[in-house]
Amino acid sequence: MYSYKPLQSWLYDQARRARAVFYSDHLNAAWHLVRGKSNAAGVDGITVDMFTGIAAEQLRQMQKQLRRESYGASPAKGFLIPKKSGGHRMIGLSTVRDRIVQRFLLQQIYPDLEAHFSDSCYAYRPGYSIYSAIEQVMERYRQQPAWVVKADIQQFFDHISWPLLLSHLENLAIEPVLLQLIEQQLKVGVVLQGRRYPQSRGVLQGGVLSGALANLYLSSFDRDCLTEGIPLVRYGDDCVAVTGSWLQASRALAFMQDRLAEHYLSLHPEKSRVFGPSEEFTFLGHRFCEGQVILPEWRQKKRRKAEGERRKKASYSGPPKACSLVKTKRGRKVSSPDTYWSEPMTTLYVTDQGAYLRVRNQQYQVFHERELKCKIPVNRVSHVVLFGTCNVSHGAVSLSLRRRVPILYLASNGRYFGRLETEGHAQIEYLTQQVTCAQDPEFVKRQAASMITAKLHNCRKVLLRMNRKPKKASVIETIDEIAKLMEQVPTADSVESMLGYEGQGAALYFPAYGSLLKGQFDFEKRTRRPPQDPVNSLLSLGYTLLSQHLHSMVEIAGLHTHFGNLHKPQKNRPSLVCDLIEEFRAPIVDSFVAYLVNSNQFTEEDFTPPDARGGVYLQPDALKTFLKHWEKHLNKKIKHPTTGHTVPYRRCFELQVWEYIACLMGEQENYRAMRWEN
């Protein structure tokens, strides 16, 4: 482990915060709301009526589990509901216990969410309703002539990107323990007809949290439309904007399409169009034609029945109703950001030789020389990385497989051996398309060009940043030469030629990179297997850890790691991982190593003497220092160039995997590799 005392301090602080958050009154209020809703049972077969008889004991047990961070969510029970347009919509029903937790979470986070919603959002909010949305559209529509943009977001709830959604939540400074529970509820999957379907994106339709999270996901889209002057009215995935001319409407439709693409969403081609002043359209069941609004029949009947009587209750569309029952302090901040890790999930590194990893009470426990060094809730851990001769109990292995927590095995010097993780992430439609595309020369060539161009671009950016003061003429010349190579890549007639340009770029880049290092270590060229100097040792370790992060993201998304484009499929080589890592090498690892060297984080004594093969590696204590800085580096936030959202580096890995999936599935022609602009 890389620092036991700070970790133990953090865990103590987290436990104290958990006790402060999980009050019994909050859970009781959440249970009261769940009790007033559907009586239906989830996958455990327990209805609300059945739960009532054991509610007191169950709530005490849930409170204890939540405080210990050992609560485990169950998959939702799936139902297929026919759609009017054809096909089916998946609806999920959580267990009663999970519904209570979801209501509790909504009560805790909704005040922070509401502050980010714009006035154009009318669904899943207290005080807003279908009627509010209709009245807003009517007010502008009656000002004829009017050109109307009516848009429908295609498969909105199913295509919400988890990395972006979780980044939005992290930016709200919500308690990490609450973020972890939300992420757990997102990723539990659905059981349909006795078969479990794991998910890699989307929010559960029918879930308590889904409406509020969906609004948060599109909050920046809503604000962008209003800033652009588009009078947007959005109710869930239905959007309407009333404009004064056909040109304004066309521009608004194009703008909405472009902004939604930044959220990995698209408009339904058959349900999104511009309507002229004389054309009739329907919005939320109401017909609009030539400045007039015709109410649906059911509303006409209700209006006749309740004529002259003002509605006492707003017709809310979802769960935010719970927020009024338990008041939560808005803008609550953590006293010191240094006392906890902002990421709800983290990597557990075990570096002490002879350490023993086991599980007790839903906690990973690390022992060294029979002394308990640290313990951390299983729900907090996304990866376990073991260096050297570390032992793992059968219980720890079993629980990791059930929880889909990969266990990575590295030598004490950082060399990668293998990984242990469960199967079941594969998506057949992705795999089929992946194999098909890998055999398409034109597809392979286009994506390879995008990846190599992005890699060269990012190498230039690193050199430009490192060469600011003072500027070296030789480095400036190298930067110009790499720019010329970038221009040649798209014109190459084969992937092999592109790889030649990549090789030329690397031959130019690393000597220039080494000349800009200001620490005590010399670096002339890249050497690996083994790394023959301290800088190469740091680079190799960083590339290994980066590769394993990407490997996990690829498998979680349901892709096969061995079918890539830039690197041809070979035995025992994860070609797709090798492809995706290229754009991240310079901005993630190279810049990080430059920081470590230039800030003198390590000395010659922190590295081993050259072994029989000439390999140089970090000493055990120095490895802990490296990992500490590495985790901090991955949590650094940048503006993602494609989406425009500010996200941590580790979220960028997930986003780029989904960029590649969008390319595979034909949603975009070329893979939009990440080009670093910082």
Mean pLDDT by 10-residue block, N- to C-terminus, for the chain (678 residues)? 50 51 72 84 87 87 84 85 74 88 88 85 85 85 83 89 88 83 87 79 85 91 90 91 88 90 88 87 84 68 55 41 31 31 60 83 81 79 83 84 81 77 71 83 87 89 84 85 86 84 86 84 83 88 87 81 78 82 89 88 85 84 86 85 82 85 83 81
**Cβ neighbours of residue 204 closer than 8 Å, sequence gap 6 or more:** 76, 92, 94, 157, 186, 190, 210
Question: How high is the pLDDT of residue 313?
Answer: 42
> Which segments of 516-606 does DSSP mark as H helices, in order?
534-557, 575-584, 591-598
**Do 198 and 188 touch, CB atoms closer than 8 A?**
no
Question: How high is the pLDDT of residue 217?
Answer: 92
Q: Which of 166, 189, 306 is nearest to 647 (CA)?
A: 166
Question: How high is the pLDDT of residue 218?
Answer: 92
| Tokens read off for 496 | 């092999």
Q: Which of 113, 114, 116, 118 is nearest to 225 (CA)?
A: 118
> Within 13 A of 253's CA, how many CA atoms are on the CB side?
22
Question: How high is the pLDDT of residue 221?
Answer: 92
**Cβ neighbours of residue 214 closer than 8 Å, sequence gap 6 or more:** 124, 156, 157, 160, 203, 236
In whole angstroms, give the CA distance from residue 443 to residue 430.
15
**Do 95 and 74 touch, CB atoms closer than 8 A?**
yes
Question: How high is the pLDDT of residue 302?
Answer: 57
**Do 627 and 2 touch, CB atoms closer than 8 A?**
yes
In whole angstroms, give the CA distance from residue 301 to residue 306.
9
Q: Which of 118, 560, 139 is nearest to 131 (CA)?
A: 139
**Cβ neighbours of residue 389 closer than 8 Å, sequence gap 6 or more:** 353, 354, 412
In whole angstroms, give the CA distance from residue 287 to residue 280.
7
Question: How high is the pLDDT of residue 22?
Answer: 58
Q: Which of 674, 564, 553, 577 is nearest to 162 (CA)?
A: 553
**Cβ neighbours of residue 443 closer than 8 Å, sequence gap 6 or more:** 437, 565
β-pairing verdict for 281-283 and 273-275:
unpaired
**Do 590 and 582 touch, CB atoms closer than 8 A?**
no
Question: How high is the pLDDT of residue 404?
Answer: 78
Q: CA 62 → CA 53, 313, 362, 399, 483, distances in Å?
A: 15, 32, 14, 20, 59
Q: CA 103 → CA 107, 305, 325, 481, 550, distances in Å?
A: 6, 34, 11, 58, 34
In whole angstroms, give the CA distance from residue 129 to residue 134.
9
> Within 13 A of 114's CA, how many CA atoms are on the CB side?
20
The torsion of the CA quartet 14, 19, 25, 29, rounded to 10 degrees, works out to 30
Question: How high is the pLDDT of residue 331?
Answer: 35
> Within 13 A of 58's CA, how many CA atoms are on the CB side?
16
Question: How high is the pLDDT of residue 433?
Answer: 83
DSSP-derived 3-state class of residue 200: coil
Q: Which of 390, 359, 381, 350 is nearest to 1 (CA)?
A: 350
In whole angstroms, give the CA distance from residue 434 to residue 422.
21
In whole angstroms, give the CA distance from residue 432 to residue 502.
29
